[in-house]
Structure 1
């Protein structure tokens, strides 16, 4: 019985650590503590002095050397111009809108690469006046 329990524990641990493998996670930066969620995230802020951002992170099953990102939606393109890391912060405008972050190509530290299409969608809502309309 102990062997069966040990095997089940090891197998469930493998699935738990790879739950986000080969995907993109994101969070909408707010004044609260934010957590990454896989494939889709939502957030908003009513503070008119808050500079809105969305954080995108690639989740890979191997160590990553470089990432080629593709973004679409409503965002400030200057903030993602040189993003080749595993995490990108995207400046977004103080309006209700969305941005999609996708990994197009991923280069691993073992000198292999993959042509992929892993994406996450972020929806955000920020008020210009400090109150929800």
Structure 2
């Protein structure tokens, strides 16, 4: 497993967690997951409580395996710690490019996904995307 450092979308409260496992150059498993720290403070001085906002994954070895080559990409949207919705209809992407595509999609759509998450969980404040107005 190659654990990539998180890609910060909005420090200190929104990041993309990235994991990639390859074997002999072939992708075995990946996760690209947008996360939100509901305990974050503007200084970053807190005990994090990361919650999943949205997740792409591929795993041909797990109990709940999902093979992008057979099923295509899908995006799981989370609310209250549970999978709330599954979005499909993504273009066909070769497995060798699916991890990067997933990261890019989450980066490009982070504003919308984070705003939806904040509204659903009543998270607001002057330094977040959603204001208390």
Query: TM-score per shorter chain, which class?
Result: under 0.3
Higher strand share goes to which structure? Answer: 1
Calculate the TM-score normalised by the size of structure 2. Answer: 0.27
The TM-score normalised by the length of structure 1 is: 0.27
Higher CA-based Rg: 1
More helix by share: 2
